[in-house]
């Protein structure tokens, strides 16, 4: 798997490095295209980064020209503590001067995940087409202990998806809310860059697997199938990198 691995002393340092990468990606995108599209991830790891984006970086990014999307969502109301949108809203979105229309949550209120997935895909396709963009600028991702990323789980048929950008999926047992909506590999790989945030001893095995995965067994470790247009960066803290 091609990618660049960087190791940091702890989650705080890793989050600071991610914020700096986002700032750089944003400046480049605004200079070249006048808009920066950032896909957010859920889970626990990005919270420290989101807090940094709301504080230290709050006035360093031109939020009016930033558009936020989500890589996956649990099919729960936005008021649920399981909602990725809610986590991002509470830690960061509610605290930055971003216009409401620039935030694009995954809909979870239609009662039918497949229909909501389709409407999110339509929203993204129209957004990109109007601006003549091929895909997103930067996608933030996490890595599950089983090698999943976004809501792309090992062995799921959605890993073969070639056309659809957004899909309704069922997470395996043991991952909280099982009904999910996720970006597929074509959507994630449309991005210029992917930034993985990997922290803590619990990730050691998955990090090792990710590094050692070869093309032939990549479906067992979906994170290894992330190959965006320009680069993949794995930001890893020492605890996760130890063997």
Using the rule CB under 6 A, is 146 a contact of ligand 6PG? no
Which token pair is 234? 């794995």
- CB atoms < 10 A from the CB of 227, how many? 15
Site membership for ligand 6PG, residue 42 (CB under 6 A): yes
DSSP 46: T
Give me the least distance between CB of 194 and ligand 6PG, in Å please. 12
Question: Directed axis angle between helix 84-91 and helix 47-54, to 10°?
Answer: 40
Binding of ligand 6PG at residue 237 (CB under 6 A)? no
Give the binding range for ligand 6PG (CB under 6 A) out of 11-19, 118-126, 138-146, 214-222.
Answer: 138-146
Residues 161-200 that bind ligand 6PG (CB under 6 A): none
Of 90-98, 125-133, 143-151, 183-191, which segment contacts ligand 6PG by CB under 6 A? 143-151
| Closer residue to ligand 6PG (CB): 151 or 190 | 151
- CA angle at residue 129 from 125 to 135, to 5 degrees? 70
- Please answer whether residues 195 and 21 qualify as being in contact, where contact means their C-beta atoms are separated by less than 8 angstroms: yes
Q: Single out the residue of 75, 40, 80 nearest to residue 171, CA to CA.
A: 75
Q: Does 150 bind ligand 6PG (CB under 6 A)?
A: yes
Contact assessment for residue 39 and residue 70, using Cβ atoms and an 8 Å cutoff: yes
Q: Single out the segment in contact with ligand 6PG by CB under 6 A; choices: 5-13, 40-48, 90-98, 130-138.
A: 40-48
Sequence-separated (6 or more) residues with CB below 8 Å from residue 63:
96, 97, 98, 99, 102
Which part of the chain contacts ligand 6PG (CB under 6 A), choosing from 41-49, 53-61, 123-131, 229-237?
Answer: 41-49
Q: Is 144 in the site for ligand 6PG (CB under 6 A)?
A: yes
Considering only residues 58 through 117, tell me which ones interact with ligand 6PG, judged by CB under 6 A: 71-72, 84
Asked if residue 227 lies in contact with residue 2, where contact means CB atoms within 8 angstroms, the answer is: yes
Structure tokens at 75: 């099919």
The answer to whether residue 209 forms part of the interface with ligand 6PG (CB under 6 A) is no
| Least Å from the CB of residue 176 to ligand 6PG | 8
> For residue 206, what are its two tokens?
């998955």
Task: List residues binding ligand 6PG (CB under 6 A).
Answer: 41-45, 71-72, 84, 142-144, 148-150
């Amino acid at each position: 798997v091609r990618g660049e691995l960087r190791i940091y002393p702890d989650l705080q340092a890793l989050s600071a490095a991610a914020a700096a990468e986002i700032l750089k990606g944003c400046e480049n995108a605004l200079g070249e295209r006048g808009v920066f599209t950032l896909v957010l991830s859920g889970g626990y790891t990005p919270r420290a980064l989101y807090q940094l984006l709301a504080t230290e970086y709050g006035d360093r990014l031109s939020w009016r020209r930033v558009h936020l999307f989500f890589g996956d969502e649990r099919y729960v109301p936005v008021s649920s503590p399981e909602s990725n949108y809610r986590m991002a809203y509470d830690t960061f979105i509610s605290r930055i001067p971003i216009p409401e229309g620039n935030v694009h949550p995954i809909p979870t209120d239609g009662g039918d995940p497949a229909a909501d997935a389709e409407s999110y895909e339509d929203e993204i396709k129209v957004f990109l087409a109007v601006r003549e963009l091929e895909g997103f600028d930067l996608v933030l991702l996490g890595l599950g202990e089983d090698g999943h990323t976004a809501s792309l789980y090992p062995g799921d048929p959605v890993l073969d998806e070639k056309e659809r950008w957004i899909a309704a999926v069922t997470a395996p047992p043991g991952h909280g809310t099982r009904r999910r909506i996720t970006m597929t590999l074509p959507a994630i790989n449309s991005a210029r860059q992917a930034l993985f945030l990997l922290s803590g001893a619990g990730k050691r095995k998955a990090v090792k697997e990710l590094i050692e995965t070869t093309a032939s067994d990549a479906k067992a470790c979906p994170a290894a199938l992330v190959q965006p247009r320009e680069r993949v960066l794995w930001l890893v803290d020492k605890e996760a990198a130890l063997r």
